[in-house]
Copies of this chain bind each other. A is one copy, B any other.
Amino acid sequence: MMTPTVDIATRVYNHKWKIDPIVRSLIDTDFYKLLMCQSVFRNRPDTNVTFSLINRTTRIRLADLIDEGELREQLDYVRGLSLTRGESTWLRGNTFYGKRQMFRPDFMEFLENLRLPAYHLEKRDGQYELTFEGKWPEVMLWEIPALAIIMELRSRAVLKDLGRFELQVLYARAMTRIWEKIEKLRELGPDLRIADFGTRRRHSFLWQDWCAQAMIEGLGAPRFTGTSNCLIAMRRDIEAIGTNAHELPMVYAALAETDEELRQAPYRVLADWHEEHDGNLRMILPDTYGTKGFLEHAPDWLAKWTGIRIDSGDPAEGAETAISWWKSRGEDPRDKLIIFSDGLDVAKMTELFHRFSGRVKVSFGWGTLLTNDFRGLVPGDGLAPFSLVCKAVAAEGKPTVKLSDNPEKATGPKDLIQRYRKVFDVGQQQRMDVVV
């Protein structure tokens, strides 16, 4: 009676899988991808874009670690996915940020019929060149599954030679580490607001799900505000969190014909967004082409928005810039929300929390160091997180550019980076190491 029960049917069922799929649902993705997809579907449905995988940590030779056949199987599996009835019901019926039917019927119909488009994969210099081309609303949904697949295949490659108890102890250590972080966060008191933003660079799906549950038990609502991952939000009955990201201004900017159109592109994005959304969804992400210039030249209606997300550069400096800007536009910063989301861990969040609580509403989007902190847990540190992104690199054949508030994070052709720096009046920027 003490023998662990073997559920024979489950074992037989599992044997039927040719692979162990990493991404098993189209909503195992970040919520903001769906929000942006709806916006794109409405405003730029026929734009052709190219997304591409970029491993900023080139010393990690992904093509040597990950078998190409396995990678193709995982990507092919995702191409076979479609929205299930239950997922559709959840998206159609759920309340997001207190709003019902956030997703319009025409968009839901598009999503229900969607299959992800083809991918292009080849090896070069020990890395994978993985690109996706096609209509923007379809291609953009590859970003998160592509990242999650690469991240988890890399975890599996590193773990495959470990024994059963070595594995158990590895996870025991990782769990202990996360729990100790949560215990420290709890010391920040009842005003803490923090969400899981760790889908894209997670160690694995099951691990992200464990981390989210640990946050539910360790912090709970309202301190744990929810997760960016729709599938986990649905399964664990918590809020799906997110608004918009750099890809919108990057593609809008690439499509601009003139310098003036280019200069206006980031505002055009938010004007489109403004029409669609209100309240908590009106979050400014100002750093695509430099926060300082963006805010200086921003139209007044943007100052009425709910808040700003700070995703690059020195976060305290970014927050001070935002606070000054709101003041200069006659807004009370205490009514405004700042979401920090760049490379956070407990020490940094604690520092930012103490510095800005009371001056603005503070919230954190905790990513890689929540869902993938296996640093130092295997010999050679083979599970340490690394900097992998999947970005829109071109729109209608024209390259995209991102500057951000850290020149180390800039992407795009060198000459175009120069042009953008001039158009957006980006001065000297502080170089900062990109951790994750």
Binding site for B on A (CB under 8 A): 1-3, 5, 7, 10, 24, 163-166, 168-169, 171-173, 175-176, 179, 205-206, 213-214, 217-218, 235
Contacts and interface: CB of A to CB of B under 8 A. Distances in A.
B165 A218 contact: yes
Main secondary structure of the interface of A (DSSP, over half): helix
Contact of A176 (B163, B169, B206, B214): B169
5 contacts: A1-B24, A2-B205, A169-B176, A172-B175, A172-B179
A1 B205 CA distance: 13
B7 A5 contact: yes
A5 B5 CA distance: 11
A176 B164 CA distance: 14
A2 B206 CA distance: 9
Given A5-B7, A7-B5, A10-B5, A176 B172 contact: yes
Nearest to A182: B165
Contacts of A168: 175
B176 A217 contact: no
A218 to B, nearest CB: 6
Contacts of A163: 217
Given A2-B24, A24-B2, A175 B179 contact: no
A163 B216 CA distance: 11
Contacts of A179: 165-166, 169, 172
Contacts of A213: 165
Nearest to A3: B235
Nearest to A2: B24
A213 to B, nearest CB: 7
Contact of A165 (B3, B166, B214): B214
Which of A5, A176, A179 has the most C-beta atoms of chain B within 10 angstroms of its own C-beta? A176
A217 B165 contact: yes
A173 B169 CA distance: 9
Contacts of A5: 7, 10
Given A165-B213, A173-B176, 16 more contacts: A1-B24, A3-B235, A5-B7, A165-B214, A165-B217, A165-B218, A166-B179, A166-B217, A169-B176, A169-B179, A172-B172, A172-B173, A172-B175, A172-B176, A172-B179, A176-B176
A5 B50 CA distance: 40
Contacts of A218: 165
Contacts of A165: 179, 213-214, 217-218
B1 A217 contact: no
Question: Which residue, of A2, A24, A214, has the highest number of chain B Cβ atoms within 10 A?
Answer: A2
Contacts of A7: 5, 7, 10
